[in-house]
Amino acid sequence: MTVATPNDPLLMLRQLRCIRDDRVLFSELALDLAPGEIVQVTGPNGSGKTTLLRIVSGLSLDFEGEIVWSGIAVEQNRLAYQQDLLFIGHQVGIKAALTPEENLRAVMGMHGQFKKEDIHDALSRVDLYGFEDVPCYQLSAGQQRRVALARLHLSRQRLWILDEPFTAIDRAGVKALESLLICHAQRGGMVMLTTHHELGIQYQGLKRLDLAELLSASDHPFAVEAV
């Protein structure tokens, strides 16, 4: 019997290939992500970063290759996989007519019951103390993004998939989010994110997956570089 160690990858992407409008976005894409690791997906506009995150999150099934979670192909284990992942897209994905508290309750409802204090605590951790009951259409762009990011403070999922999470966030918010990502990884979580923002973190579990480099080398096996 093989015994899994903490450094064994939980997420494995194997030979992913994706074509949109007759254009190969990526091919031969392989990635291992183990507990404690963060992978930053980089590449110019239109290179396929969002498309890759949507594929890995199970939102898009239009690809070739295999996604393996915890040793089992996701297509045979989709429910368990979905329960272990939290996806936050580059659109904030909140309802403008609802308050931050109502938005969090609605979106986290599928992941369990949360007490009012837990939701208020999550909102205060993203500096929205006092805004819990304000309709989201009255909040700034950065505050709306913070409502979406408050989900991370309630999350019990091991894998966070975040598309441009730093958009509209001020400098203090960026630092706080970077610390949160490291904290999640250090507790055995994993993060896959896209950002055009230069990450200001020194963390040995940080990797980079550059889609432009991958495409230019796609005749060759691809390895993710540690940074």
Give residues in contact with ligand ATP (CB under 6 A).
Answer: 20-21, 25, 43, 45-51
Least spacing, CB of residue 146 vs ligand ATP, in Å:
21
Least spacing, CB of residue 140 vs ligand ATP, in Å:
22
The answer to whether 97 and 128 have CB atoms below 8 angstroms apart is no
Least spacing, CB of residue 212 vs ligand ATP, in Å:
9
Q: 23 or 175: whose CB is closer to ligand ATP?
A: 23
Surface-to-core class of residue 64, CB atoms within 10 Å of its CB (0-12 exposed, 13-18 middle, 19+ buried): exposed
Q: 18 or 85: whose CB is closer to ligand ATP?
A: 18
DSSP alpha helix (H) spans, the chain = 49-56, 78-84, 100-108, 116-125, 141-154, 171-186, 211-216
Q: 9 or 48: whose CB is closer to ligand ATP?
A: 48
d(CA 14, CA 64): 9
Least spacing, CB of residue 41 vs ligand ATP, in Å:
8
Q: 3 or 61: whose CB is closer to ligand ATP?
A: 61
d(CA 107, CA 98): 12
